[in-house]
Structure 1
């Protein structure tokens, strides 16, 4: 059973990922610094630190993949929609509003998936923090174990 100090450090490791809203790359810097300083003091802290860092790296990888998939759809839609406004003088001005492109639906679906992923990430971080506070181990779902 971990002591209170180890529980607090493990909780702060998970919560330090929220520092990205204040410091760029804080979701990597915070957990790495806390984990590196305290990993030798407790196996509990070491496990939670590795989990938090692995989860953040996995989220980065998933975001890069999702972005790489969605960028071509966005670019094709932009270049396809350049004739949205036709202006041939004030006597012949009209806006072309036609059927939405399937690319728009695909890009919108990927954006919706990214928003759901962001919300789930926040939920998983809070759950991991609460488990660490209670002295339990927590393994983030869909995490690739880069640090073992």
Structure 2
């Protein structure tokens, strides 16, 4: 069921759950740590942030696993193709999720393993 919110702060923090994953470009595992920090700070205040924080964390953990699988595949050439496609997919869906949240709508990532319920 899609959660729709109207509170500006709640939408902003929900959006930050997704944008915080770009911290991974600066800090190792920042793609997980960024959303985790936002989730832990605001989950008790906003239900929307709790939902979207879990969604973002699940996606970032899943993408990290996919990345770790792709690295050895570079040696058999297929990883050279899959790795850039994975990166483009990752960036695209994170932006889509953040935009949906800025509109106050929840987002569920595709191909995600749901570690955190």
Q: TM-score, normalised by structure 2?
A: 0.89
Q: CA RMSD in A?
A: 1.3
In the alignment, which residue of structure 1 is the partner of 2:35? 31
Mapped partners of 1:133, 1:49: distance in 2:
14
- Counting matched residue pairs gives 113
Unaligned runs of 5+ in 2: none
Identify which of 94, 113, 117 aligns with 1:144.
113
| Alpha-carbon displacement from aligned partner over 1:87-146 (angstroms, at most 9, x marks no partner) | xxxxxxxxxxxxxxxxxxxx3332111110110000000000000100001001000110
Kindly indicate which of the two structures has a greater share of residues assigned to helix.
2
Conservation of the 8 A alpha-carbon contact between 1:2 and 1:44? no
In the alignment, which residue of structure 1 is the partner of 2:19? 15
Unaligned runs of 5+ in 1: 75-106
In the alignment, which residue of structure 2 is the partner of 1:93? none
Mapped partners of 1:110, 1:127: distance in 2:
25
Q: TM-score, normalised by structure 1?
A: 0.72
In the alignment, which residue of structure 1 is the partner of 2:80? 111
| SS, match of residue 97 in structure 2 | helix
Identify which of 10, 16, 21 aligns with 1:6.
10
Aligned positions of 1:1-148 closer than 5 A:
1-68=5-72, 70=73, 74=75, 107-148=76-117
Mapped partners of 2:61, 2:81: distance in 1:
21
The structure number with the bigger radius of gyration is 1
Mapped partners of 1:138, 1:145: distance in 2:
14
Kindly indicate which of the two structures has a greater share of residues assigned to strand.
1
